[in-house]
């Protein structure tokens, strides 16, 4: 790998400090060619790529340090600000992450992904009105972004604005009929507004598309709630909890946007003799 001129420049400065600073009134200073702006920008991008790898390995503090260095070299590179925001958010510094994204927006106010990222951070902080505002601004710029609509629908669920949630999810399924997480969440909303048969259909479709534990467990609960005891519901629930025992915990259910009515039905199913052992073992695994 060839050494870039910027690194030679920094090395030269170190050599001066180490060897050529003297107490004499006459000191010799070698001439060093300073890198041009293009080289600074190229080096900053290289540093940014290294930082992204550090983020992938969970080295968030280290990534933040070198990204700050990269931004000193190239403060107008929006991707560096976005990478810094990602590292700051993962380091549990949402405040600074939002400030970094604001810097990126100044550079490129038409980048929809910046608004979506801000929306996700606000959602994580449960600042739902701010989240909705950011997500809507992002969707104005990119009105076919499935994930943007998905997050917006989730924000409406958290606010219990179920009609808006369903309308938003419907936009996703028109773009992607196989987005099983959206279909599953449509079922969550329908269950809360007492449309249990419609919810059951959504859970069934989501479980058909994906083998994830959530729609299978929700489907089992719906079958039990509408049809009573059945071998099908018990077996399906047992298999789902075996695959993901976290769903035996009511707090985890809440994190996954399960409403009170579905949680209550889950509690009734879990209390049956057929389910007690599996539920107990699931909770023991997650303690």
- Model confidence pLDDT, tens digit, residues 104-156: 999 999 999 999 999 999 999 999 999 999 999 999 999 999 999 999 999 99
Tokens of 146: 């499935």
Helix ranges, the chain (H): 5-15, 37-56, 60-73, 78-90, 94-107, 112-124, 128-141, 146-158, 162-175, 180-192, 196-209, 213-227, 231-243, 250-255, 260-270, 273-285
Residues 270 and 230 in one domain: yes
CA dihedral 200, 203, 208, 211 (to 10 degrees): -140
Cα–Cα distance for residue pair 249/217, rounded to 1 Å: 13
Residue 59 located in a structural domain: no
211 and 249 in a common domain: yes
Q: Domain check: are 285 and 193 in the same one?
A: yes
- Residue 221 in any domain: the answer is yes
Rounded to whole angstroms, how far apart are CA atoms 29 and 24?
13
Residue at a domain's end among 177, 203, 228 = 177
- The pTM (predicted TM-score) of the whole model is 0.83
d(CA 116, CA 127): 14
Q: How many structural domains is the chain composed of?
A: 2
User: Same structural domain for residues 154 and 202?
Assistant: no
Structural domain containing residue 115: 110-177
The CATH number linked to 148 is: 1.25.40.10
Is 206 inside a domain boundary?
yes
Question: What's the pLDDT tens digit per position in 225-273?
Answer: 998 888 999 999 999 999 999 999 999 999 999 999 999 999 999 999 9
């Amino acid at each position: 790998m060839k050494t870039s001129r910027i690194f030679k420049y920094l090395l030269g400065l170190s050599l001066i400090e180490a060897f050529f600073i003297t107490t004499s009134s006459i000191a010799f200073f070698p001439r060093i060619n300073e890198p041009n702006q293009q080289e600074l920008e190229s080096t900053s991008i290289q540093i940014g790529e290294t930082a992204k790898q550090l983020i992938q390995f969970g080295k968030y503090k280290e990534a933040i340090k070198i990204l700050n260095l990269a931004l000193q070299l190239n403060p107008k590179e929006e991707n560096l600000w976005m990478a810094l925001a990602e590292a700051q958010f993962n380091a549990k510094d949402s405040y600074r992450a939002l400030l970094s994204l604001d810097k990126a927006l100044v550079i490129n106010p038409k980048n929809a992904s910046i608004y979506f990222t801000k929306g996700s951070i606000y959602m994580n902080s449960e600042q739902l009105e701010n989240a909705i505002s950011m997500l809507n601004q992002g969707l104005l710029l990119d009105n076919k972004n499935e994930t943007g609509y998905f997050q917006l629908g989730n924000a409406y669920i958290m606010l219990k604005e179920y009609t808006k949630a369903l309308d938003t999810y419907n936009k996703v399924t028109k773009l992607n009929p196989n987005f099983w997480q959206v279909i599953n969440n449509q079922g969550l909303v329908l269950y809360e507004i007492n449309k249990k048969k419609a919810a059951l259909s959504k859970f069934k479709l989501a479980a058909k598309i994906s083998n994830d534990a959530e729609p299978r467990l929700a489907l089992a609960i719906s079958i039990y709630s509408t049809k009573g005891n059945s071998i099908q519901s018990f077996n399906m629930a047992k298999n789902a909890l075996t695959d993901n025992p976290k769903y035996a915990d009511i707090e985890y259910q809440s994190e996954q946007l399960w409403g009170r009515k579905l949680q209550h039905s889950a509690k009734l199913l879990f209390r049956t003799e057929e389910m007690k052992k599996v539920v107990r073992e699931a909770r023991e695994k997650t303690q």
